[in-house]
Structure formats: C-alpha cells, structure tokens
Amino acid sequence: MTRYAAPLTDIRFALFDVLGAGALFQRLPGLESATPDIIDAVLEEAAKFAEQVLAPINHSGDQEGCVLDKASASVTTPKGFKEAYATYVDGGWSTLTTPEKFGGQGLPETIGAIVKEFIDSANVSWGNFPMLSHGSVEALKAHGEPWQQDAFLKPITDGRWTGTMCLTEPHCGTDLGLLKTRAEPAADGSYRISGTKIFITAGEHDLTENIVHLVLARLPDAPPGVKGISLFIVPKFKVGKDGKLGERNALAVGSIEHKMGIKASVTCVMNFDGAEGWLIGAPNKGLNAMFTMMNTARLAVGVQGLGLIERAYQNALAYARDRLQMRALTGPKFPDKPADPLLVHPDVRRMLLTQKAFAEGGRVLALYAYMQHDIATHSADEAEAKRGDELVSFLTPIVKGLLTELAQESTYDAVQIFGGHGYIAETGVEQYARDARITTLYEGTTQIQANDLLGRKVLATGGAGLKHFLGEISAFCQQQSSTAALGEFVAPLAIVTREWSELTQELAKKAQANPDEVGAAAVDYLFYSGYVALAYFWARSVAAAETSTLPADFREAKRLTARFYYTRILPRIHAHGAAIRAGSDTLMAMSDVQFG
C-alpha cells in the first residue's frame, strides 16, 4: 500500500564516501571479511527482505495487532509475521553481527545498523521481535558463564529463540532503584524469580519455540536502591545445563497493552511466580550489565527513528509528485494538467527538504556512532579503542534523543503533506507518526537521554567524547578551509562549534553552583548538540560529494540539501541557546500551587 525502497545509493555514499568504512573494516581485527563487495551483497539482500517481506505486512500488522488468548497465555502475531521471521532466520540475518566464535557471521555492528534501518523503515513493529534478542546476546557474551553461553547464546543467535529485557515495574520506569521483583536462591544454584514486570516488548509471541527473559531482581540480602539489583536469565521453557528444553517455567504473560502505535509489536505484562532463573554476572551488579545493553539498545532505537524519517520522506515525496493541487505561485508549471503537483509549492518543499536533511544527515550521524562502537570493540590500538568508546558513549544519547525527536517532526510533515488524506488510516502515513511516537519514550525518554548527555557524558566524565568530537570538527574545518566549494559550510560550522564549546563551558560552571542547571538545560542542549553534529556531517557529506564519482544530480542534491540545512534548520540552535541561557530559575521559581 505505501511504498518503500531501501536507499542503497545513499547508504553506500554515507558508509564508503563520507565515513571511509571500507578502509576501516579492512584494518580492524575480526572485521576483515567485511569487504565492500560483501557489504554490498549483504545490503542488497537485506533491501529485498525489507522491501518484499516486511513492508507488505506493515499496514496489515497495524490493523490486526497482536492478540492475547488469556486462557492459554499465548499471543498470536499478525498474519505473515511468523513467516517473515522464518525467512529472517533462514536468511541468516539473526547471526549477522555475532562473532564467529559464537557461531555468527562476525560482520560489523555498523552493517547490522544499516540492515536494521531497512527493517525499521519497512516494519518497525516487526523489527522489535529480533531487536530485543540483541540485548540477551550482549549480556551472555559479556557476563554469561560458559554453560550459559552454550545453552542460551547459540539458539538465540540462530534465531530459534528470542530475548527480552525485563526492567520496568508498575511503579518504576526510569527509577529502577524502586524495583521489587525478588530472586530466592535454590539448592541447585538457580533462583526463584517472583514479581511483575510491565512494558515487556516481545514478552510472549508465536514466532519461536522459546523466549529468554533478562530480568532485573533483588536478592534476599540485597542493599536497597540501585545497588541491590541483580540480573537473571529466565527462560519461558526451562533449559538444562545440557541445553535441552524442559518443562514450562513459572512465568506467563498477564495482559498486553493497547497502544497508540507499534500495534504489531506486543507489549506484555509478565508475571513471574517463582520462575527458575540463573544469575548473570555478579550479584547486585545487574544494573551495570543492563546499562551496557541499554546503550546498544538506545542506538538501535535511534535507528528506528532514522528508519521512520526515511519512510516518511519516501512516501511524502511520492505523494507530492502525484497529487495535483493548486498552481505554482509563479504561474502554472504543468499547464496541460488540471493543477500542478504539490511539489511546486515552496512549503511542501520545505517539509520534504527537512525530512531529506534529517534522513541523510541522521544516517551519517548514526553510522558514524556505530563505527566508533566497532572501533571500540575491535581496534588493536588501545588508544584508538578508548577514543572510539568515548565517542560512541558521548554520541549515543544524541543518536537516540535527536533522531527519535526528528522522527516526530518528519512523520508530522508526512501527514501534513498528505493533508486530510494523511489522517486516514488507509494512506498509511498516520501509522508512521503513531509508530514513531514510542521512540522518544522507550529505552529512556528524551529527558533521560538529555540528562545522560549533559550530566553524565559531558559534565561528570570530563567530556572526553565531546572533546574528541570538537577536535575532529576543528580539524575538518582547517583541512577544508581553502576548499572554495565548502566555504559556505565550513565558516558557519566553525562558528557554531565554537559557540557549542563555549556554551558547554558556561553550563559546567553554572552546574557546579546549582545542579538544577543541568536538568533545566539538558533537552535544549541535546537539540543544540544534535543540530551542530548534523551540520558537521552535512559539511562532510558535501566534501565527500565533491570528490565522488556518483551522478551529478546526486552530488548537487547533497550541496542543496546541506545549504537548506545550514540556512533554515541550523538557526534553531539560537532558540535552544537562548533557552539554555535563561537558566533554571525560569523553571524552578514556580511553586506547586502556582501551577494551578
């Protein structure tokens, strides 16, 4: 019904021309097999899977939703979801980025992110089923005992089982220190897990023979708060140390949520009633383990935002070309037609260019962050690995926070371009807006991302990642200072980068005097930082286009989109800067009763 074509040309441009991934992967130990040819072949197959298998069941999945049968505590996914999952597993997609020693194909996470963008563009609801497995794989890789890795990791990597992350409880979402789920040690070294978890994505479904839950719970002697939380692996069907499937475990879905969007992605209340589980990692260190996974999951949700921006753009553009309505302000452009297409109207173009700037600029940002992750994981050079880790750590809240927020704007614009038709379910674009709406909420709201960025990544840790990033932009500006074609970008980029740096220093001072300054500035600082980061990646895109052998129209489009971004989007930082400088008093002065 609505269209999707994986943006392979732009992906290749971002990956190879802008970011130089070809050379990078060749020199990173363990990623040598990721040659440009292999990557091309993988991406072409991934594109087909997304376009031909997932996109056609996106709208129907939204209409049907998931259905809970209370009596059997089982969930039926929409038509075609199970078959699509089987195709995914048969195609080897679940093993794409798992290291070879765990039976995977060992491709870079960056490539996994691109495949994920395709999947999320095509069908973000479906994408949540395999996505959640990623966390289990990470946890088991990092913290699992050998028998746990043998018993759990292989079937998850193979896609025969899926994983979940069970954090939230009714009274605690962000504030995990409040959680109550208990874990009692049993004689055989396992634990009995009891409690209720909510908002569990893919907590129950019919895609696989088993589901593995990563559960945060408290040991009997655990200290209160976040320092008394441990991580357990709790399968739906018990798993012997020999890896054999046993009887049904004492856990079940209690109900499923009726949501605004991602209706085909099931969101469960999970009841654990003395379920058998196994400790992963050290006692009371569960939150640390979970945070490692959450960082990856946050990047992944940022990619969901990116996927929806791209999908919204493609459909809005197609509609703007087809739909005839009114004449151009400068006179008819298609006098033989009853009216001109929407694409002639300046504000329709403004919205389309906004989407295009966010999709293509956001893609470079996301892939850059993932490449830092790959560097951190694979580089043989310790200093380089550390730098990569600091950069990805710094950029994760920006990728997650910014791209999911821009997905709100882009899906809004798509509906707006469709006009009244955009509000009707059958045209499909309103679904993108509803689906996108979850992305600023789960895996930490934008507020959480913003506090993570400013409070933790910039101020608390001395801003190592920011310093690397600022240094890199400065180097780029100097390097390109004499490239005439880049003057219109490099000059303003140097200015906003300096202002960003100064603003950060101001904030650091103010925050020392008053911690509320961090919270009062955080969201605006996230946007500010994100818009500057996009400006950097747009300048790099133009630089890469200059020397690229891609068609002239593609290269010229990069320049024109960058120009649009610099002149019409980037000035938003002035509003955010002013809001930040207004300080915390403007927010904190009002008493409770004065709110009304």
Of residues 458 through 517, those in contact with a second copy by CB under 8 A are 514-516
The distance of closest approach from Cβ of residue 424 to a second copy in the complex, given in angstroms and rounded to an integer, is 5
- Is 142 near a second copy (CB under 8 A)? no
Q: Taking Cα atoms as reference points, which of 174, 169, 245, 181 lies closest to residue 211?
A: 245
Nearest to 69 by CA among 266, 273, 246, 265: 266
Contact 31, 108 (CB under 8 A): yes
Q: What CA–CA distance (Å, rounded) separates 452 from 459?
A: 10
Between residues 52 and 567, which has the closer beta carbon with respect to a second copy?
Answer: 567
The correct pick among 118, 442, 469, 528 for binding a second copy (CB under 8 A) is 442
Residue 274 burial (10 A CB sphere; 0-12, 13-18, 19+): middle
Can residue 336 be called a binding residue for a second copy (CB under 8 A)?
no
Q: Whole-angstrom Cα distance, residue 135 to residue 213?
A: 10
Question: What positions carry a catalytic annotation?
Answer: 443
Q: Is 82 in the site for a second copy (CB under 8 A)?
A: no
Compute CA distances 361 → 311, 358, 511, whole Å: 15, 5, 31
Among 109, 374, 430, 452, binds a second copy (CB under 8 A): 430
Q: Considering only 26-34, 36-44, 97-105, 584-592, which stretch makes contact with a second copy by CB under 8 A?
A: 584-592
C-alpha distance from residue 265 to each of 63, 81, 119, 293 (Å): 12, 10, 13, 20
Query: Cα-flanking dihedrals φ and ψ of residue 529, to 5°?
Result: -60, -45
Listed residue (560, 539, 546) closest to 487, CA to CA: 539
518 contributes a contact to a second copy by CB under 8 A: yes
Which is nearer to a second copy, 158 or 257 (by Cβ)? 257
Residue ranges in 110-139 that form contacts with a second copy under rule CB under 8 A: none
How many C-beta neighbours within 10 Å does residue 470 have? 18
> How many Å separate Cα 233 from the centre of its chain?
24
Residues 244-263 that bind a second copy (CB under 8 A): 257-261
Residues 354-373 that bind a second copy (CB under 8 A): 356
242 is an interface residue for a second copy by CB under 8 A: no
Residues 542-571 that bind a second copy (CB under 8 A): 553-554, 556-557, 560-561, 563-564, 567-569, 571
**Of 101 and 574, which CB lies nearer to a second copy in the complex structure?**
574
Cα–Cα distance measured from residue 265 to residue 268, given in angstroms and rounded to the nearest whole number: 10
59 sits near a second copy (criterion: CB under 8 A): no
**DSSP string covering 345-397, please?**
SHHHHHHHHHHHHHHHHHHHHHHHHHHHHHHHHH-SSHHHHHHHHHHHHHHHH
Region 388-427 residues binding a second copy, contact defined as CB under 8 A:
408, 412, 415-416, 419-426
276 vs 443 by CB, closer to a second copy: 443
Does residue number 265 form part of the binding site for a second copy (CB under 8 A)? no
Write out the binding residues for a second copy, residues 175-194 only, by CB under 8 A. Answer: 175, 177-178
CB of residue 325 to a second copy, shortest distance in Å: 5
Does residue number 70 form part of the binding site for a second copy (CB under 8 A)? no
Those residues with Cβ within 8 angstroms of residue 335's Cβ, 6 or more apart along the chain or in another chain: none
Q: How far is the CB of 551 from a second copy (least distance, A)?
A: 9
Nearest Cα to 69, choosing from 216, 207, 299, 252? Answer: 252
Nearer to a second copy among residue 171 and residue 227 (C-beta): 171
Binds a second copy (CB under 8 A): choice among 8, 38, 73, 172:
172
Smallest separation, CB 360 to a second copy (Å): 9
Residues 192-221 that bind a second copy (CB under 8 A): 199
Chosen residue from 146, 189, 220, 346 binding a second copy by CB under 8 A: 346
Mapping DSSP onto H, E and C, the string for 503-530 reads HHHHHHHHHHHCCHHHHHHHHHHHHHHH
